[in-house]
Amino acid sequence: MAFLSASGEPSPQAPSETAQNASHSNPLSEITPQEVLAEVNRFVEAKGLREHRDAFRKGALLARVQNVPDGFEDIDLLSSEEKEYIRYEVSHKWRSSPPLLYLLCGLCAGCAIVQGMDQTVINGAQAFYFKEFGIKDPLMQGFLNGAPYASAALLGCWLNAPLNDKFGRRGTIFVSCCIAALTGIIQAASSSWVDFMIGRLVLGIAVGAKSSTTPIYAAESAPKEVRGALTMMWQMWTAFGIMIGYAASLGFQNCDFLGENSQWRWMIGVSSFPPIVVGALVYMLPDSPRWYMDKGNYKKAFESMRKLRRHDIQAARDIYLAHTYLEAEKQSKDGKNLLRELFTVRRNWRAAQSAWFLNVIAYYSTRIFTDAGFSRDVALTASFGCGVLNWLGALPAVLTIDRFGRRNLLLATLPLLSISLLWTAGSFQVQDPQLRTSLVITSVYVFMFIYSPGLGPVPFTYSAEAFPLHIRALGMASATAVTWALNFLISFSWPKMMEAMTPTGGFCWYGAWNAVGFVFAYFLVPETKGRTLEELDEVFSLRNRDHALHYWKRLKWGALKLARVDAEPVPPLYEGEGPQEPKPSNA
């Protein structure tokens, strides 16, 4: 039943069930349509958007019922054409987004390719520059390989917040691409290991800033229905970049005309080209609408969102709903220390805890295959196979992450990752050389294929979503700093670990940590799919004990069902969780 006439005036029989059925996490569902329209009038006057008043009136009413199935059908203020746009958006979530949104995500993919190449060109290059510079100490080898990740964790990620504040999402990506291109040339032209180390440490600034910003840029620009898939393309195309890095190692392994062991210079130098291309294209796209909103520039925010949605009322809906949450968030922002707030506000530290929770093979696969009995040439070829499978394994996640969910992808893949690592560990104990090499390469390939749709894309996607806008850059910086710090520790410690624990012990160690990760994810990592970024406040405000207890009850319920014992279903954890059915009208 309609609650507004075509003129926008209240219908005599305006029902209240729409508001009652919307999720309580939506502030607009708690007020009447007339109050929403009155607020919209004040909003467009205050934000300099009066020429878009009609779009925002309709958008605000859409936002009010966004969690109610087909709730927009009851809004008479919408024309038949506008309702058809919304129906199409619901039924064709992929095709309903404009080409510019996909171009934006394509740019993010370019950043990811840069990231992936930076990670793996070192894989083949290390065999040559260790010899040229006479580096034999395993700890020094580990430090040189992992230097960018130490620098990213200590400096690059933390520069993300001030760079975003000053230059925006696009500007931060541009700066990081310039640094990445420059340091690729510096590394390739190094005359000593000191020059090389400086280049790799400076590269970490680009790695940290880019990896902290790009997923946020995609997450803040995408509609909630496809946000996970578009944001996770960061990992899919990082995997593609990893593959290209392996291909560069394979392609330049015989290019030694600059001198003995000079092949590594070509392998690393080629990594300068992708960031040049990305940096040249980044300003062709709009900046994040939510970044403009955080700066108080709603006119540019709406202009940006209009380019990223098919229809003005969709852009107005997303802007106004985000504004409503930001107004509620503003009081907690004003006058507070953001770093202290990250650790003292439950909503924030729960997001941080989950993001922090959420890569040895990418750096050392050639070494692993050499230890298993391969020649260097064959090991490089096998490593390229790792890269191909890593990329192919990421493709299914595009279709599953918004349907299956971030949490479920972790729960489905972590046990399999643990098993594949233990399989690799056991393979090194096989005495027959031919059988050992076959088992090692198969188990590592299985690991890479399983890693790509689960533990690969989820952490960066999740971290980009988890934090509230005013603390998002800092929160993402902390999450990626933890990631790169652990990557550095793995890179730094792996050569020494191989000496002390043997490959079998090393893989058993990491296999056990994947099992621990499964337990943590089950009890403490919430699901973020299907909600706007602002609606996640409700999800992360829940206490850890309540979340863990809920899933303990779910575990017991599942066990009883398997035993064919009747048991009462466990109630939903959040208000509005699951599909909502409209209640009968009282009118």
Amino acid at 417: L
| Closest by Cα among 388, 495, 394 to 441 | 388
> How many angstroms separate the Cα of 116 from the Cα of each of 146, 218, 242, 262, 558?
14, 18, 4, 22, 40
Superfamily of domain 99-283+297-524: MFS general substrate transporter like domains (1.20.1250.20)
Contact 370, 520 (CB under 8 A): no
Helical H runs in 308-375? 312-333, 338-344, 346-357, 360-371
* pLDDT of res. 181: 92
The residues, ordered by sequence, that sit 6+ positions from 54 with a Cβ below 8 Å of its Cβ are none
In the block, which residue shows the tokens 């530290």?
A: 349
Per-residue model confidence (pLDDT) at position 342: 56
Q: What is the pLDDT of residue 50?
A: 92
Give the count of beta carbons closer than 10 Å to the beta carbon of residue 567: 13
The reported pLDDT for the residue numbered 385 is 73
For the chain, the domains span 17-91, 99-283+297-524
Kindly report the length of the chain.
587
The per-residue pLDDT for 1 is 34
pLDDT along the chain (587 residues), means of 10: 40 36 60 91 93 93 85 88 87 80 80 77 80 85 83 86 89 93 92 91 89 83 76 70 78 78 86 88 89 92 92 92 78 54 54 46 45 57 71 72 80 88 88 85 82 74 72 74 74 75 83 84 82 74 84 88 83 60 36
Angle at 41 between CA 36 and CA 47, to 5 degrees: 115
Q: Report the 3 state secondary structure along 130-186.
A: HHHCCCCCHHHHHHHHHHHHHHHHHHHHHHHHHHHHHHHHHHHHHHHHHHHHHHHHH
pLDDT at position 2: 40
